[in-house]
Structure 1
Amino acid sequence: HVAVPLFQVSQAAAELQQYCMQNACKDALLVGVPAGSNPFREPRSCALL
């Protein structure tokens, strides 16, 4: 058996909320990704050719 430490839900939720608030500025889903550095964006081609 593995001993898992028990925490109060309110304490765990507060720590999770604090972590999320501290790291929100680094979250690409919240702040977006600059178009030039997005590796998942489809390469654009010229519409005239």
Structure 2
Amino acid sequence: MSNSSANGTLLMAQKAVKQLRFEASMSRIKVSQAASDLKGFCLQNAHRDPLLMGVSSSDNPFRPPKSCSLF
């Protein structure tokens, strides 16, 4: 193995170790706690969710244009 190839492999290994140490040091919570928090957030903000409550036609920027016809 050439010297530059060995240096490249060493640098890649050092980067991987650094990333793994960073990920290992992150604080974590249990999935059940995260799911409970997410459910609470969704229920707390459901009244402002346009997918659940709908959008009034006056506030909807994507409403179909009104056509004008003369008879």
- Normalised to the residue count of structure 2, the TM-score between the two structures is 0.60
SS of the aligned residue for 1:13 comes to helix
State the structure with more CA Rg: 2
User: Counterparts of 2:51 and 2:41 in 1: how far apart (Å)?
Assistant: 16
Matched residues, percent identical?
A: 48
Letter in 2 for 1:39: P
Give unpaired runs (5+ residues) of structure 1: none
CA RMSD of aligned residues (A): 1.4
* Structure with more contact order per residue of length (Cα contacts < 8 Å, sep ≥ 6): 1
Give unpaired runs (5+ residues) of structure 2: 1-18
Which residue does 1:32 correspond to in 2?
54
- Normalised to the residue count of structure 1, the TM-score between the two structures is 0.82
Larger relative helix fraction: 2
